[in-house]
Amino acid sequence: MQLQQLHDPRSTTCSYLIWDEATREAAILDPVQDQLARDLRLLKDLGLTLRYALETHVPIDHITASGQLRELLDAAVLVPEGYGSKNPDVLLRDNDLIPLGNGRIRVISTPGHTGCGVSYYIPGAVFTGDTLLVGSCGRTDLQSGDAGVLYDSITRRLFTLPDDTVVYPGHNGAGRPASSILDEKRHNHRIGNGRTREDFIAIMKNLRLDPPSALHEALPVNLRNGIAAMEPRSA
């Protein structure tokens, strides 16, 4: 499969366009509404047919474009089971296989950053959302996050992938667009180098992070796949 990493500067979100070279069928991971025009243009320029808009978790730092991509391109919206979306097309479970052209995308359940996070795996690469970042990981103090669960997701589900698997994160905050499973096992400053579960939980408990500025705007809209609620018509 082919892929392209896409960036939203305001939220530092990394979206990913994945496609099968032979059939030109595509999926987009964690699309951002502010970048909808760019993504539509890219799909047209590459001659791709968008089949899916995939979410790794409910975002609270940007508004998703998944609902608009469904309206404009008839792409199916796929979200993790437990996401809380009002009208997804498919609820994803652990080890589900999503057909894309001549290949498949495997769903890996990786909760902890939120209560229902997933990662997506294709041979040689894993798209980790906010579960595993380059040198770091997602916070656990919002959206039913749990540091112990996140530790288990990373160490038992992601760190058990082949060492040369490329890690494509949900944010580019470290200035590096990607990493590898081996690099993260060795050098991730929160969870790498054999850090214990207890130490990791203590680190996450003491982060004291401010909530994202877009939280109260983004969360309710993203539970509707990025589609704002319709105003009631006056009589």
Most distant CA atoms of the chain, gap in Å: 64
Q: How far is the C-alpha of 83 from the C-alpha of 7, rounded, in Å?
A: 23
> Strand order of the sheet with strand 25-29?
2-8, 13-19, 25-29, 49-54, 76-80, 90-92
Q: For residue 205, count other CB atoms closer than 10 A to its CB.
A: 11
Question: Considering the domain boundaries, does residue 215 fall inside one?
Answer: no
This prediction's pTM:
0.94
Question: Considering the domain boundaries, does residue 58 fall inside one?
Answer: yes
Quote the tokens at residue 151: 């530790």
Residue 149: its H or E element: helix 147-152
* CA angle, residues 33, 13, 174, in degrees to nearest 5: 165
User: Which pLDDT score is estimated for 56?
Assistant: 97
Could you list the residue range(s) of the whole structural domain that residue 192 is in? Answer: 2-210
Question: Considering the domain boundaries, does residue 38 fall inside one?
Answer: yes
Question: Considering the domain boundaries, does residue 219 fall inside one?
Answer: no
Question: Considering the domain boundaries, does residue 224 fall inside one?
Answer: no
User: Which pLDDT score is estimated for 233?
Assistant: 37
CATH of the domain at 27: 3.60.15.10
Total domain count, the chain: 1
Question: Chain-centre distance of CA 45, in angstroms?
Answer: 24
Question: Considering the domain boundaries, does residue 86 fall inside one?
Answer: yes
- Residues of the chain where predicted confidence (pLDDT) is lower than 50: 230-235
DSSP-derived 3-state class of residue 202 = helix
